[in-house]
Structure 1
Amino acid sequence: MLISLLFMVTISLDTVISHPQMVAPKSVYISPDGKTAYVNNLEGMNTLIFDVVTRKVKGVIKHIGKPVESCFSEGGRYVWISYYRLIGKGYPPCPNWREYKIPSVVAVYDTVKKALVRKVKVGVIPKIIEASPDGKYVFVSNWNSHSVTVVDAETFEVKEEIKVGWVPRGVAFTNDSRFAYVVNMGGFTISKIDVDSLKAVKVISKAVGNRPRHIVATPDSNYMLFSCHGDGYIRKLDIKADSIIDKVKVGHQPRTITLDPSGRYLFVVNYKSNSVSIVDVDLMTEVAEEKTGLKPVGCDLTPDGGELWVTDYSSGSIHIYKIQY
Structure 2
Amino acid sequence: MRRWGIIVFFPFILPIFFWSVVIKSDPVGAEVRVGGICVGKTPLVLSNGTGLVEVSLPGYKAVTQVVHEQKQIFVRLLPTNSLLTFIKQEYVGSMPKDLIFTPDGRYLVITFMGEQGIGYYDMKEAKLSMVRIPQYHRYVGYVEGVFSPDGKEFWFTQVDKKGKVFVVSLSNWSIVKEIDVQGSMPKVGEFTPDGRYYYVTCWDSATVTVIERETYQVREILRTTGYQPRGLGFSQDGHYLYVLFYGSGEIIKYDRTQGHKVVKTIKTGGSNGRFRLHPHRNWVYINNLRRSRFYILDLSTDTLSAPYACGIHPSNLKLSPDYRYMVITCRGKDNSKGFAYRSPEDGTVELYDIKESVPRLLEVIKGGNQPIGIAISSDGKILAISNFMDGTVDFYLVDTERL
In the alignment, is the contact (CA less than 8 A) between 1:171 and 1:216 conserved in 2?
no
In the alignment, is the contact (CA less than 8 A) between 1:184 and 1:212 conserved in 2?
yes
In the alignment, is the contact (CA less than 8 A) between 2:99 and 2:386 conserved in 1?
yes
Instruction: For 2:253 and 2:305, locate their aligned partners in 1 and report how far apart those are by CA, in whole Å.
Output: 17
Q: In the alignment, which residue of structure 1 is the partner of 2:295? A: 235
* Inter-CA distance 301–293: structure 2 relative to 1 (3 Å threshold): same
Given the alignment of the two structures, is residue 43 of structure 1 paired with residue 88 of structure 2, yes or no? no
In the alignment, is the contact (CA less than 8 A) between 2:254 and 2:264 conserved in 1?
no
* Inter-CA distance 2–58: structure 2 relative to 1 (3 Å threshold): same
From 178, 188, 191, the equivalent of 2:249 is 188
* Inter-CA distance 232–18: structure 2 relative to 1 (3 Å threshold): same
Residue deviations 1:173-222 (CA, integer Å, cap 9, x gap): 2333332321100111011133344504334334x241111111102251
Instruction: For 1:15 and 1:193, locate their aligned partners in 2 and report how far apart those are by CA, in whole Å.
Output: 43
In the alignment, is the contact (CA less than 8 A) between 1:222 and 1:240 conserved in 2?
yes
From 352, 359, 362, the equivalent of 1:279 is 352
Q: In the alignment, which residue of structure 2 is the partner of 1:91? A: none
SS of aligned partner of 2:301: coil
* Inter-CA distance 11–166: structure 2 relative to 1 (3 Å threshold): same
Instruction: For 2:281 and 2:233, locate their aligned partners in 1 and report how far apart those are by CA, in whole Å.
Output: 10
Instruction: For 2:207 and 2:251, locate their aligned partners in 1 and report how far apart those are by CA, in whole Å.
Output: 12
* Inter-CA distance 196–31: structure 2 relative to 1 (3 Å threshold): farther
Offset of residue 286 of structure 1: 1.9
From 7, 18, 36, the equivalent of 2:91 is 18
User: 2:118 corresponds to which letter in structure 1?
Assistant: T
From 360, 365, 379, the equivalent of 1:290 is 365
In the alignment, is the contact (CA less than 8 A) between 1:174 and 1:217 conserved in 2?
no
In the alignment, is the contact (CA less than 8 A) between 1:175 and 1:220 conserved in 2?
no
Moved more, 43-52 or 135-144: 43-52
Offset of residue 226 of structure 1: 0.4
Q: In the alignment, which residue of structure 2 is the partner of 1:111? A: 170
5+ residue gaps, structure 2, are: 1-77, 333-345
* Inter-CA distance 286–133: structure 2 relative to 1 (3 Å threshold): same
SS of aligned partner of 2:124: coil
Offset of residue 52 of structure 1: 2.5
From 259, 262, 272, the equivalent of 1:201 is 262
Given the alignment of the two structures, is residue 175 of structure 1 paired with residue 236 of structure 2, yes or no? yes
Q: In the alignment, which residue of structure 2 is the partner of 1:268? A: 328
In the alignment, is the contact (CA less than 8 A) between 2:157 and 2:166 conserved in 1?
yes
User: 2:350 corresponds to which letter in structure 1?
Assistant: S
Q: In the alignment, which residue of structure 2 is the partner of 1:92? A: none
User: 2:382 corresponds to which letter in structure 1?
Assistant: E
From 381, 386, 390, the equivalent of 1:306 is 381
In the alignment, is the contact (CA less than 8 A) between 2:203 and 2:230 conserved in 1?
yes
Task: Give the structure-1-normalised TM-score.
Answer: 0.87
Task: Give the structure-2-normalised TM-score.
Answer: 0.71
In the alignment, is the contact (CA less than 8 A) between 1:256 and 1:299 conserved in 2?
yes
Greater relative contact order: 1 or 2 (C-alpha under 8 angstroms, separation 6 or more)?
Answer: 1
Instruction: For 1:193 and 1:308, locate their aligned partners in 2 and report how far apart those are by CA, in whole Å.
Output: 34
Structure 1 residue ranges (4+ consecutive) displaced by more than 6 angstroms after TM superposition = none
Q: In the alignment, which residue of structure 2 is the partner of 1:214? A: 274
Given the alignment of the two structures, is residue 72 of structure 1 paired with residue 151 of structure 2, yes or no? no
Instruction: For 1:181 and 1:121, locate their aligned partners in 2 and report how far apart those are by CA, in whole Å.
Output: 23
* Inter-CA distance 235–110: structure 2 relative to 1 (3 Å threshold): same
Given the alignment of the two structures, is residue 316 of structure 1 paired with residue 391 of structure 2, yes or no? yes
Instruction: For 2:319 and 2:124, locate their aligned partners in 1 and report how far apart those are by CA, in whole Å.
Output: 21
From 158, 162, 183, the equivalent of 2:218 is 158
Instruction: For 1:174 and 1:304, locate their aligned partners in 2 and report how far apart those are by CA, in whole Å.
Output: 25
Task: Please identify which structure carries the higher strand content.
Answer: 1
In the alignment, is the contact (CA less than 8 A) between 2:131 and 2:174 conserved in 1?
no
Offset of residue 228 of structure 1: 0.4
* Inter-CA distance 116–290: structure 2 relative to 1 (3 Å threshold): same
User: 1:174 corresponds to which letter in structure 2?
Assistant: S
Instruction: For 2:392 and 2:250, locate their aligned partners in 1 and report how far apart those are by CA, in whole Å.
Output: 33
SS of aligned partner of 1:213: coil
Instruction: For 2:331 and 2:157, locate their aligned partners in 1 and report how far apart those are by CA, in whole Å.
Output: 21
SS of aligned partner of 1:177: coil
Instruction: For 1:213 and 1:199, locate their aligned partners in 2 and report how far apart those are by CA, in whole Å.
Output: 21
Structure of larger gyration radius: 2
Instruction: For 1:71 and 1:197, locate their aligned partners in 2 and report how far apart those are by CA, in whole Å.
Output: 27
- Residues paired across the two proteins, number: 302
Over the residues paired in the alignment, what is the CA RMSD in angstroms? 2.0
SS of aligned partner of 1:234: strand
Q: In the alignment, which residue of structure 1 is the partner of 2:179? A: 120
User: 2:204 corresponds to which letter in structure 1?
Assistant: N
Residue deviations 1:77-98 (CA, integer Å, cap 9, x gap): 111121111xxxxxxxxxxxxx
Residue deviations 1:17-64 (CA, integer Å, cap 9, x gap): 113xx1111111211222211111111122111112333214433352
Instruction: For 2:287 and 2:208, locate their aligned partners in 1 and report how far apart those are by CA, in whole Å.
Output: 19
User: 1:204 corresponds to which letter in structure 2?
Assistant: T
